[in-house]
Amino acid sequence: MDARTTGLVVGGRSRSPSRRGRLSRSADFDRVFRQGRSQGGRELILYVFPRGDDQSPPRVGLSVSRKVGSAVERNRVKRLVREAFSSGEVTLPPGTDAVVVARPEARALAEREGMAGIARALGELVERFGEPGSPAAGER
């Protein structure tokens, strides 16, 4: 057994995916896509699924296809999205799973405005979930 399977703390950091606040299993992504609600913008799409466990921190998964650009450009977009959530500029309620899908326009936004642009786009999507009449997963 290694630290990933036991959830041990190694070097002061936990190796458990849920503790890092990330979705990593394919089944988790599928559940969010199939049962969650979505909001889309020009650069990003946000899928959200409430787990029902109001005590655990929110978890975020990322999907950035090759249409966004080269590996360097895709990794930059992923880093900025993770940073927006970890810095507290974008927050989700506890017990929530979310998947952020980056559209090709996300690369241009990251180049043009950097972290501020990505955080703004994510913030707008998160705010829309609080509006009455936001579409359910089957009404996309």
pLDDT of residue 48: 94
Q: Which residue has the higher pLDDT, 62 or 8?
A: 62
Backbone angles phi, psi at 136, to 5 degrees: -80, 175
Which pLDDT score, from 0 to 100, does residue 55 have?
A: 82
pLDDT tens digits for range 98-123: 999 999 999 999 999 999 999 999 99
Kindly give, in sequence order, each residue whose CB lies less than 8 Å from that of residue 59, ignoring residues fewer than 6 positions away.
17, 18, 21, 22, 23, 28, 96, 97, 98
Averaged over 42-64, what is the pLDDT?
A: 90
Its pTM stands at 0.77
What letter represents residue 114's amino acid? G
As a whole number, the mean pLDDT across the chain is 81
What's the pLDDT score for residue 131?
64
Q: Quick check: 6 pLDDT over 60? A: no
Tens of pLDDT, residue by residue over 26-42, are 999 999 999 999 999 99
User: Residue 1: which pLDDT band, with cuts at 50, 70 and 90?
Assistant: very low
